[in-house]
């Protein structure tokens, strides 16, 4: 059977559910790292999407979705996709706030709004994909 590229990269539902979960300690270490990684991708994505439109928007969205989906796969929990989404979103809130000088990083425009909307939708989609463990730190048994 020939599998499509997305099926080879993402795996099937059965393959994802059959994967062994990392240890609880590994997941506890991964969550703060994923939070910071989500914030860094958000910061870089804000500059890239406005620097090279429309290819920069595509690049920023691909990096954002890769962090969300990577967190899901690394931890094996929905929280693994939700934690980088939280870091991504909090960094965006900081970047959208105007500075006293009147400057701000994320300007109003099509690519900025597309980055905000499509990144948030992608994060929610990744957080709702099936995993062995729903929420929290995962099960103690493998």
77 DSSP β-pair partners: 133
Q: What is the pLDDT of residues 38-77, one digit of tens each?
A: 999 999 999 999 888 899 999 999 999 999 999 988 888 8
- pLDDT for residue 133: 60
Judge whether residue 137 has pLDDT over 70: no
**Domain assignments of the chain as residue spans, ordered by start:** 23-97+104-127
d(Cα 91, Cα 86) in Å, to the nearest integer? Answer: 9
- Model confidence at 141, in pLDDT bands (50, 70, 90)? very low
**pTM > 0.85: yes or no:** no
Q: What is the pLDDT of residues 66-82, one digit of tens each?
A: 999 999 888 888 899 99
């Amino acid at each position: 059977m020939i599998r499509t590229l997305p099926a080879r990269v993402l795996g099937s539902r059965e393959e994802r559910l059959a994967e062994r979960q990392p240890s609880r300690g590994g997941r506890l270490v991964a969550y703060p790292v994923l939070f910071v990684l989500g914030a860094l991708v958000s910061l870089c994505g804000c500059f890239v999407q406005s620097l090279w439109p429309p290819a920069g928007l595509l690049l920023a969205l691909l990096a954002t979705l890769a962090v969300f989906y990577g967190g899901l796969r690394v931890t094996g929990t929905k929280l693994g996709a939700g934690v980088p989404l939280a870091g991504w979103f909090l960094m965006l809130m900081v970047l959208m706030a105007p500075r006293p000088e009147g400057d701000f990083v994320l300007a109003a425009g099509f690519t900025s709004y597309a980055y905000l909307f499509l990144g948030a939708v992608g994060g929610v989609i990744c957080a709702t994909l099936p995993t062995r463990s729903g929420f929290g730190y995962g099960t103690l048994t493998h």
